[in-house]
Each structure stands twice: as C-alpha cells, then as structure tokens.
Structure 1
Amino acid sequence: MGKPKRAVLAAAQESSTPPDELTATQSIARVIKAEGNSIYSCELPSGKPVFVELDPKFRNTIFIRRGGYVLIDQADAKERLKTSRVSGDIINIVRDEKAWRKQPYWPNEFVKKTFGEDEDEDSNVGKLPPSDSEDE
C-alpha cells in the first residue's frame, strides 16, 4: 500500500507560505546540484557553496529542482563540519517564489532575470544571417 497523501499535502502547504522573519542562522540559498542521499549543494547569497541535508519531512514528497531556492538553517554548522561535509539543513522549500520575493529578507543577490536583461550579450539572437541570394 502507498503512503497516505496527507503527508504530501501537509509538506506542500507548509512550504507554500514564507515565514514572517528569519533567525540569525537561517538564510535563503540557491540549489546548485543534488549530491545524493538527500544532500544538496547550494549557493549562499555571498556566493559561498555549502552542502545541506533535506529535512526528513520533505523527503520523497517535495521535488527540489536545480536552480530553485530553499531556506537553510546552519545553527550547528561548526560542530557538523568537524564530522561531515554537511553544514546545515533545508528547513523549507521555496515553491511560491513570487510571494517569497516580496519578503524583506529576500537577498538582493538573487535577482530575477527577465527576458530583456540579456539583450547586450545576445544581441544577435533571433536575427537571420545575411543571405547571399539578394545579389542575384
């Protein structure tokens, strides 16, 4: 028999609403890569890479995509780094990114790129190459 859907719905509902404020040990991070066994490589707003472990209540219930955002807690980071490479826990997953971005604690380093921002770099995208058939 499968798992009851209540656990999935409870985890999804909990991760849909952002908290009112963050503690000193909590921060938002961008997921870089899934390392395996519920361990993820994430990037802090400062650009520092960290390894974090997914909270058991989210395991096998919520999908974390690469490039997505998570709320991590590094309360006992120094003690954990002595015995393993994991420095914190994923305590929440950003699912409704629009609501999370409105919060005052959202880092300015994680700005949302819009379609027209990369115009300087990709100025030739979408343009046709010059054709030689016009001379004939």
Structure 2
Amino acid sequence: MSRKTKRKHVFKEVLEDDMSLPADHQTIVRILSTKGNNLHEVLAPDQSTFLVSMPTKFRKNVWVKRGNYVLVEPIEEGDKVKAEIVRILTNEHIKYFKEDNVWPAEFDEKKKSCDGADDDLLVNTNRLHLIASSEESGSDSDESEDYSDDDVKK
C-alpha cells in the first residue's frame, strides 16, 4: 500500500466519528509531553504519569500535542511503557463522553472568571519589561537627547 493510500485510510479512521464509549479496560488520559521514539508521557485521572506508545498506523500520519486527550489500552510487554494509544479524542468525542458521564471529573476544565485573571497571565520572557514608577516618568524629558542630522548620518 502506498504512503498516500495509507494516510488516506488513517485519516478516515481518525476523523470518522466513532462515538463508541470506552471499554472497561480502556482509559482516557491527557498528553503531558513527548519523549521521542513515538512515546508520550500522559497523566491518568488518578494523577499518575506513565509512558504510552503511538501505534505504527498513526506514526508520521497523525500528531498529538501537549494537552490533547487520547484513549489508551494497557499492554503487558513493557516495564516503562504501560499502554498504547487506541484513539485520539476530538472535541466531539469529549462532548459526547461528558453527556454520557464517562468523562473523568479530574479532567473537567474550570473556566476562570475575569476577576483577578491578570495574576494568572504568563510573562512573555522574549520582551524586556521595564517597570517605571511615577517619579521616574517625570524625568524622561530631561534625559532625552536631541540628535542633529550630522550625528544620525555617522
């Protein structure tokens, strides 16, 4: 099977909304980070972290990133790798699982109110932030220098 044909079938399987509920042995987990070699560190609803593997049919065809939710099935072969990804969950899956009360309560995202939300904002470390007090802002006009056209050309 050519790479293009394989990718078409994988995308059809992933994007086709298979809205079946997870089986008893399957678990919904959140991706924490990628560890290389198609391994991902995940967070389970019981707050434990472990490694899961990406099956070969998804490799180089589907990507997951931090914060995505996946459905995993446990494997017995490895010591460090505890499960394998079965399905990558979309927003439609999440909505359907919440309606059927299958979604873990630990993964419910609480919306923050606007009151005091500025405290939770991340600081952009790529920008230099100067904090100036009201006393320093008055002295800015004294420190400014006038450049003549000759100085600019040099």
Q: Taking structure 2 as the reference length, what is the TM-score of the superposition?
A: 0.66
Task: Tell me the amino acid that sits aligned with residue 61 of structure 1.
Answer: N
Match of residue 107, structure 1, among 96, 104, 109 = 104
CA distance change for structure 1 residues 125 and 27 in 2, over 3 Å: closer, same or farther? Answer: closer
What SS does structure 2 have at the residue aligned with 1:42?
A: strand
Give the CA deviation at 1:20: 1.6
Are the structure 2 counterparts of residues 45 and 124 from structure 1 closer, same or farther at C-alpha, using a change threshold of 3 Å?
closer
| Number of aligned residue pairs | 122
| Residue of structure 2 in register with 1:11 after alignment | 10
| Matched-pair identity in % | 22
| TM-score normalised per structure 1 | 0.73
RMSD value, Cα: 2.8
Q: C-alpha separation between the residues in 1 aligned to 2:24 and 2:13? A: 21
Larger radius of gyration: 2
Q: Is the 8 A contact 2:39 2:52 kept in 1?
A: yes
Distance (Å, rounded) in 2 between the aligned partners of 1:125 and 1:42 = 24
Stretches of structure 1 lacking an aligned partner (at least 5 in a row): none
Q: Which has the higher contact order (CA 8 A, sep 6+)?
A: 1
Would you identify which runs of 4 or more consecutive aligned residues in structure 1 move more than 4 Å? 123-126
1:20-55, Cα deviation, whole Å (9 max, x unpaired): 221111011100111111111001111110111111
Structure 2 unaligned segments of length 5 or more: list them.
122-130, 139-154
